Structure 1
Amino acid sequence: MRAARYTEAGPAAEVIVVDDVDAPAAGPGQILVRVAAIGLNPVDVKIRAAARDFGPIRYSDRPGWDVAGTVDAVGAGVSGWVQGDRVFALASFPDAAHTLAEYAVVSAADLALAPSTWSDAQAGAAPLAALTAWQALDAAGVEEGQRVLVLGGAGGVGHFAIQLAKARGAQVVATASPAKHDLVRGWGADHVIDYRDEAALDGIAPVDAVIVTVDDALPPRPAVAPGTAVVTITGLSAAQEASLAGWGADPIRRILVAADGAQLARIAELAEEGLVVVHLDSEYRFEDLAAAQERVETGRVTGKVVVLVDPEA
């Protein structure tokens, strides 16, 4: 089978190679997935560029975490899955998973049935970003009737955070560049604000929760009231955290997404109801993996970048 590999730290076009290797076998508690599509995320390009661990995130020269495809074989002790089931997963994260290949071994606990309303490309693009949004909303305690501010509403995590917050019955305010406002409204945002418009940002009334999905972003002061929950997926500086604490925000939480098949299954149920869609920024073939990673590195992705795989090619 074909499998991607990093030769060392460096630019995507110089260090990504595709090897012919033996296909893995499903062990106890595992499922062998014939891969159809793999989502790319900022963590993929950061870890390739550095070729080292990032805290608990394990580096491997065989990359990939997101995956969608079909069940090819079932390991010992696994029930409820049969060959041909259409599945998707965030595999093993933050441990190495090796999904950027034609076949990948995935823990049965990480898998969920892919929504029939999503294409293989959409299912492959979704897991890490959708689970991050789900877990961020959980960490913020978002529930029906609350107001949520999503900083970075047009990104991979941001566009899921908007939809999942709306599915919980929350009102959503989101930031995005003006060219993306119609898209963001289409995902359910009640109000969309240009992230560069300081006057508009200062006009945001206090919210119950802030979900920070972009680097070095501090919510506008008027949006934060005593008790506002602030959850970041990127981290905030000590000075930013001090400012938020001085404004009365709850203790700031930084989350690292965890693989969770049960939560993915709940997201899939919402997708079947038409409440969650996946916006694809761009699709690439496996042989164009370097270009796909370069697209992610621009930092201007709307929704998700996905790599398509065909084991028969």
Structure 2
Amino acid sequence: MRAAVVTTFGGPEAVEVVEAELPEPAARQVRIKVAAATLNPVDAGVRQGVFGGAGKRIGLGWDVAGTVDATGVATAWSVGDEVVALDPGMVRPLGTHAEYVVVETDAVAKAPATVDAVHAATLPLNALAAVQALDLLELSQGQSLLISGAAGAVGGFAVQLAAHRGISVTALARETDEELVRSLGAAHFASGGVQPGGFDAVLDTAFLGETALEWVRDGGAYIGVIPQAAPASVRGVRTGAVEVSADGARLAELAALVDEGVLTLRVAETYALDEAAKAHARLAEGGVRGRLVLVP
């Protein structure tokens, strides 16, 4: 089968599409025939060597939508099931940017019924990161939340999920994105001039760090999206960062919210698997609204 990998670190040109051995599922695993797999910033980090692994062949891709193709023992999934899954990992021989991928059975969820596989592939990593970050913030209905980078993939899901929970969301984004973030459910919009201490919590998907921390009231909460990179606590503000984990049960809940119209899946562009390097080059240009998706 074909798979996108890196064997040396660097720019988009470091991405290769190679022939790899078809993986076989072990106990409590399923093999998915990949219909679509999303390209995320973490893949660029892997490609650049941020997470190490020099001298190894490293597979790319965490998100997948497709069809169960084979199963190991002790799994409730059946061949032919249409599914989505998160397959996290920084340094491993194969990722989801391939024709087939083996994942743990408890990382898998039934795919949303109302969207195609290309859109479904954008759900796992970014929506799980958003909902797990919101869980860490522990906000109640009516409390106030500022989300930086609200027009991005994680930020956009966070706006919708928080608004669905009855939280008062202020979206921080570029002026040109105001219409978008309001359509996602933001009650308020900011592009600058945020009031210090004005919010019960901040979800910082734009990596603003200490700047965003100043916007949290005394005793509030700050959650970022880069593990081990949260700013130190000040004024009694609880700080931390989400480290997204695979969770098939939670992913199933998110897929149901897609079918209910609560969550919007945004695809910017699609690329053939053989164009993986081209997709990385587009990601590196920035300004992408929605996700880039690879189709084997």
Q: Same fold (TM over 0.5)?
A: yes
The answer to whether structure 1 residue 293 and structure 2 residue 269 are counterparts is: no
* 1:182 alignment counterpart: 179
Picking from 77, 82, 89, the partner of 2:85 is 89
The answer to whether structure 1 residue 169 and structure 2 residue 166 are counterparts is: yes
Q: Structure 1 residues 19 and 93, CA, compared in 2 at 3 Å: closer, same or farther?
A: closer
* 2:2 alignment counterpart: 2
> Any residues of structure 2 matched to 1:82-161 within 5 Å, and which?
82-93=78-89, 96=92, 98-161=95-158
Q: Structure 1 residues 220 and 253, CA, compared in 2 at 3 Å: closer, same or farther?
A: closer
The answer to whether structure 1 residue 219 and structure 2 residue 212 are counterparts is: yes
Structure 2: state its 5+ residue gaps: none
1:228 partner SS: strand
* 1:302 alignment counterpart: 289
**Distance across 2 between alignment mates of 1:295 and 1:125:** 17
Equivalent residue letter for 2:36: A
8 Å contact 1:231–1:255 — kept in the other structure? yes
Q: Structure 1 residues 205 and 275, CA, compared in 2 at 3 Å: closer, same or farther?
A: farther
Shift of 1:27: 1.1
Equivalent residue letter for 2:87: A
Residues 206-227 of structure 1 show CA distances to partners (whole Å, capped at 9, x for unaligned) of: 2222100012342274x42122
Q: Structure 1 residues 22 and 93, CA, compared in 2 at 3 Å: closer, same or farther?
A: closer
8 Å contact 2:151–2:289 — kept in the other structure? yes
8 Å contact 1:233–1:254 — kept in the other structure? yes
Residues 39-92 of structure 1 show CA distances to partners (whole Å, capped at 9, x for unaligned) of: 1111110111116439xxxx851222111101111111112x222111111114
Shift of 1:158: 0.4
**Distance across 2 between alignment mates of 1:114 and 1:144:** 29
Shift of 1:232: 0.5
Residues 249-284 of structure 1 show CA distances to partners (whole Å, capped at 9, x for unaligned) of: 522112211111111011112112110011122222
Q: Structure 1 residues 11 and 237, CA, compared in 2 at 3 Å: closer, same or farther?
A: closer
**Distance across 2 between alignment mates of 1:66 and 1:130:** 11
| Structure 1 vs Structure 2 CA RMSD | 2.2
8 Å contact 1:32–1:105 — kept in the other structure? yes
**Distance across 1 between alignment mates of 2:6 and 2:267:** 25
The answer to whether structure 1 residue 254 and structure 2 residue 241 are counterparts is: yes
TM-score by length of 1: 0.87
The answer to whether structure 1 residue 63 and structure 2 residue 56 are counterparts is: no
**Distance across 2 between alignment mates of 1:286 and 1:191:** 39
The answer to whether structure 1 residue 273 and structure 2 residue 266 are counterparts is: no
Structure 1: state its 5+ residue gaps: none
TM-score by length of 2: 0.91
8 Å contact 1:9–1:51 — kept in the other structure? no
**Distance across 1 between alignment mates of 2:135 and 2:229:** 23
8 Å contact 1:214–1:234 — kept in the other structure? no
4+ long deviations beyond 3 Å: 51-54, 92-97, 235-238
Shift of 1:190: 0.9
8 Å contact 2:59–2:91 — kept in the other structure? no
Equivalent residue letter for 1:63: L
Q: Structure 1 residues 110 and 220, CA, compared in 2 at 3 Å: closer, same or farther?
A: closer
Picking from 213, 224, 227, the partner of 1:232 is 224
Aligned length: 292
Q: Structure 1 residues 208 and 281, CA, compared in 2 at 3 Å: closer, same or farther?
A: same
**Distance across 2 between alignment mates of 1:83 and 1:290:** 31
**Distance across 2 between alignment mates of 1:304 and 1:227:** 35
